[in-house]
Amino acid sequence: MTVCTIARLGEPILRRVAEAVTPEDRSSGRLAQWVTDLIETMRAVSGAGLAAPQVFVSKAVCVIEVRENRRYPFFPEIPLTVLVNPRLTPLTAGDRPEECITVYEGCLSVPGLRGRVSRPRAVRVQAEDAAGNSLDFVWEGVRAAVVQHEVDHLFGKLFVDRADSGTLMFYEEFERYVPVEARAVDGQIQDG
């Protein structure tokens, strides 16, 4: 099993726009290797997702999975999802509370830190899977937040760029001071 070294905040690769995955990346088997490495590393370090630039591969591929996650016990389960060359279209504007999903996000590339990020609560996801099939689906709530966080990595963006700076805190303080019900707030569900 491979557990890749994870690039931390400050590594230039985290700030680059990842290159598109090409047919040659598929036919050569490189894509399959990247996907395997991402899944094994994500599971080994209890990530909710992992993007290729985080393991020093500047390519547009990310993986997502949440299953009894110890870093995010307040997240719903998300089946293993592999996104190649993903494109997101927000389905809500995200400037009114009921259009937002607000989550105290963290990131394996920013170890120990959490911060509150509000994002559009519904997104259309278009991508290919590992086998080259087209994907086209809508995710809402926490799932929408997770996929936006991962796809941000492919564009050189990190959650600390989007977090309210006054809400940044270390994990221990997050556990101590942020009530469970405030850790992920779906505007639509919260107030109807």
Q: Which is nearer to Ni ion, 74 or 188 (CB)?
A: 74
Q: Which is nearer to Ni ion, 107 or 117 (CB)?
A: 107
Residue 153 beta carbon to Ni ion: minimum distance, rounded to whole angstroms: 6
CA atoms within 13 Å, Cβ hemisphere of 112: 3
Q: Which two tokens stand for residue 154?
A: 């492919």
Q: Which of 84, 107, 130, 145 binds Ni ion (CB under 5 A)?
A: 107
Active site residue 175: no
- Under DSSP, is residue 28 helix (H, G, I), strand (E, B) or coil? coil
The single residue of 98, 99, 150, 181 carrying the catalytic annotation is 150
Q: CA nearest 103: which of 176, 61, 15, 164?
A: 164
Q: Which is nearer to Ni ion, 117 or 127 (CB)?
A: 117
Residue 50 beta carbon to Ni ion: minimum distance, rounded to whole angstroms: 8
φ/ψ of 170, rounded to 5, equals: -80, 160
Strand 61-66: give its sheet, edge to edge: 49-51, 61-66, 78-90, 122-128, 134-140
E strand or H helix at 46: none
Q: Which two tokens stand for residue 21?
A: 């995955």
Size of the site for Ni ion (CB under 5 A): 1
Q: Which is nearer to Ni ion, 26 or 71 (CB)?
A: 71
Residue span binding Ni ion (CB under 5 A) among the ranges 36-44, 99-107, 135-143, 181-189:
99-107
Residue number, nearest CB to Ni ion = 107
**Interface contacts to Ni ion, rule CB under 5 A:** 107
* Catalytic residue set: 150
